[in-house]
Amino acid sequence: MIVFNEEAHSYTSILGDPYTSVTTLIGKYKPDEDWDKIAERYIKKHKTDLNILVDLANKSGLTMEEAELKFGTTFSKERIREIWKQKGTDAARGGTTWHNWMEKQDSGLTNAVYIPVVNGEKKAIDLTKVESNKVYLEMMLYNNKAKVCGQADKVITLNNTSIIRDYKCTDKDLVPEVPAYWKKVNGKKRQVQSKFKSPLNVLHNSYWTYALQLSMYGYMLETYGFPPERLVIDQVLTSWVTEENLGNEIAIDYDPILKKYRIVDDVVEVDLPYLKEEVKKILK
């Protein structure tokens, strides 16, 4: 039996043995990145504060006036990092709201299985007792040998297969292509692509990170008789509107600076590959 502690966001067995989260384990294999240098390259690429502001406005779907109000007009590497960090926080907050809304909708299904958090803790389902033709919400999946555990937003069990879905509130292009960049290798400049660390043989971007995450869930389910038929990211696409333009859309966030609501425009399915062999490498 695995227990999830909501406040600490940690997993332990009933005997007190700690389990590593799936996202933490995958994070150990991400390439080392110097975010100060990345911010410096970003500033150098755009050359002027005005160009940076234009880029931030375009990527955030804001007018220049709104971008100036939200981000300011001068950009050091420290300020750029602050903006990037805040963007991640905003995405997570909106994603949590959407996740809770979807959970509320799906919990009304006659075949839904949902284990709530009680007194700050949640117990995992015995995976040997998983049933076909069920919809498991926030399903805790684990590998006892590697002592790894994670939670899939939605698992649909079919007859001896499964579909695993996860919600991501992001405006990034979730595509397998990873652009090459110039880097000095053995004293010579070469074009390289970002990759996960050995022993993984996988390119690194959001698409491949999510593919590894859902593949790990899929492999855990496969060991209990439900190999994944599909691994799917439900990408939540959003925009910002003022209160007077807020109709019946689902608002998942509010920006007190802009005085605007973040609404859901669309949800796009992104199918991911099952990286079974890569998962087996890091669960050994």
| Segment (H or E) for 223 | none
Query: What is the separation, in whole angstroms, between the first and last Cα of the chain?
Result: 21
Q: At CA 211, angle to CA 101 and CA 129, rounded to 5?
A: 65
Cα 16 to Cα 24: distance, rounded to the nearest angstrom: 19
What are the extents of the domains in the chain?
A: 2-31+114-282
Token pair for 239:
């925009």
Asked if residue 142 lies in contact with residue 222, where contact means CB atoms within 8 angstroms, the answer is: no
Q: Produce one character per residue of 122-153: b if its CB has 16 or more CB atoms within 10 Å, e if not.
A: bebbebeebeeebbbbbbbbbbeeebbbbbbb
**What string of pLDDT tens digits covers the 284 residues of the chain?**
899 998 998 999 988 899 999 999 999 999 988 899 999 999 999 999 999 999 999 988 889 999 999 999 999 999 999 999 998 888 888 888 999 899 989 988 999 999 888 999 999 999 999 999 999 999 999 999 999 999 999 999 999 999 999 999 988 889 999 988 877 777 788 888 899 999 999 999 999 999 999 999 999 999 999 999 999 999 999 988 998 888 888 899 999 999 999 999 999 999 999 999 999 999 98
Asked if residue 262 lies in contact with residue 240, where contact means CB atoms within 8 angstroms, the answer is: yes
